[in-house]
């Protein structure tokens, strides 16, 4: 999670270097999505909003589309949606890319999607209760919400340094679990699972590791050593098939750290809601 990306998200489309942290994060997200898709027999997916605080925008659902699912990705910025389209066009897969003026009024019929989800994006929604109502309306089986870990040391540090952005550009209350859990439960959806995720051996520093080292004088600011671009796109286009294995080398905390440790170290937290039988 990196709050400053709100000001320079465009650069990743011309310089697609997401860094080790975001690339690792992508594979962790993919693992969770794969489990949910199999468990609930998901065939259609809506990702809305699509802009989360990580690298290339709009590609978190790309793995699902490549596996044959019917995917819709929605965004409220025309420039960003055009750039997202330029990335997806490099893959032989279908996707519905929709420009939406207001996330609180989704232009889809009732029960259109088996699953609706988003990653680190809830704070772009103008009205949390109305948005949750819309997610419920268009979703048939499950709703997955991934938010920054608000108890994490990394989030608290970034919140301090990004307090102006949070105050002026974001709705922090929307990512507080008690708020969206209450909205969904009130309308009959049951929280079936939640877990701390994205828990690598490095802190949630909100910047490339190289920049982090420079910031603390551990790497020369004049260093001319070339950094090879790192992005999950090269895994998807099959030019770096070993990337998943390389990223899994860092998942020891992910697999074995106790929940109390993850509460303060993990970068994100996910919440899975299921439609109750009464609905």
Q: Is 206 left (phi over 0), alpha (psi -120 to 50) or beta?
A: left
Report residue 75's pLDDT band, with 50, 70 and 90 as the boundaries: very high
Is residue 243 over pLDDT 80?
yes
Neighbours of 1 (CB within 10 A): 26
For residues 9 and 182, the answer to whether their CB atoms sit within 8 Å is no
Q: What is the mean pLDDT of residues 167-179?
A: 95
Exposure string over 118-150, b if 16+ CB within 10 A, otherwise e: bbbbbbbbeebbebbbbbbebbbbbbbbbbbbe
Q: What is the pLDDT of residue 30?
A: 98
| Domains of the chain as residue ranges with CATH | 16-275 (3.40.50.150)
| pTM of this structure | 0.92
Contact by Cβ (8 Å): 95, 88:
yes
Instruction: Note the pLDDT of residue 46.
Output: 98
At 264 the pLDDT is 97
Q: Distance between CA 107 and CA 211 in Å, rounded?
A: 41
Q: Which helix (H) or strand (E) holds 189?
A: strand 189-197
Return the pLDDT at 218. Answer: 44
With a pLDDT cut of 70, the percent of the chain lying above it is 90
Of 120-124, 217-221, 245-249, the one with minimum mean pLDDT is 217-221
pLDDT at 209: 55
Q: What is the CA radius of gyration of the chain?
A: 18
Q: What is the pLDDT of residue 278?
A: 61
pLDDT digits (tens, 9 = 90+) for 82-120: 999 999 999 989 899 999 999 999 999 999 999 999 999
Give me the chain's average pLDDT, please: 91
Residue range 26-41: mean pLDDT, rounded: 98
């Amino acid at each position: 999670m990196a709050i400053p990306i709100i000001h320079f998200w465009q650069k990743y489309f011309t310089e697609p270097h997401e860094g080790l942290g975001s690339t690792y994060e992508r594979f962790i997200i993919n693992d969770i999505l794969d489990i949910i898709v199999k468990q609930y027999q998901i065939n259609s997916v809506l990702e809305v909003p699509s802009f989360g605080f990580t690298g290339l925008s709009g590609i978190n659902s790309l793995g699902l589309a490549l596996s044959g699912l019917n995917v819709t990705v929605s965004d409220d910025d025309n420039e960003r949606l055009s750039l997202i389209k330029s990335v997806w066009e490099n893959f032989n897969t279908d996707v519905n890319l929709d420009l939406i003026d207001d996330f609180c009024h989704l232009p889809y019929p009732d029960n259109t999607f088996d699953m609706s989800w988003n990653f680190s994006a809830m704070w772009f929604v103008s009205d949390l209760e109305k948005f949750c109502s819309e997610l419920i309306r268009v979703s048939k089986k499950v709703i997955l919400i991934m938010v920054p870990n608000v108890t994490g040391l990394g989030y608290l540090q970034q919140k301090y340094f990004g307090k102006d952005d949070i105050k002026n550009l974001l709705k922090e209350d929307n990512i507080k679990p008690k708020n969206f859990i209450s909205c969904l439960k009130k309308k009959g959806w049951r929280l079936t699972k939640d877990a701390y995720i994205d828990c690598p051996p490095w802190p949630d520093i909100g910047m490339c590791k190289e920049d982090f080292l420079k910031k603390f004088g551990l790497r020369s600011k004049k260093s001319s050593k070339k950094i090879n671009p790192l992005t999950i796109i090269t895994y998807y286009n099959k030019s770096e098939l070993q990337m998943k294995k390389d990223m899994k080398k860092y998942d020891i905390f992910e697999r074995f750290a106790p929940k109390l440790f993850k509460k303060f170290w993990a970068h994100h937290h996910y919440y899975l809601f299921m439609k109750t039988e009464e609905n």
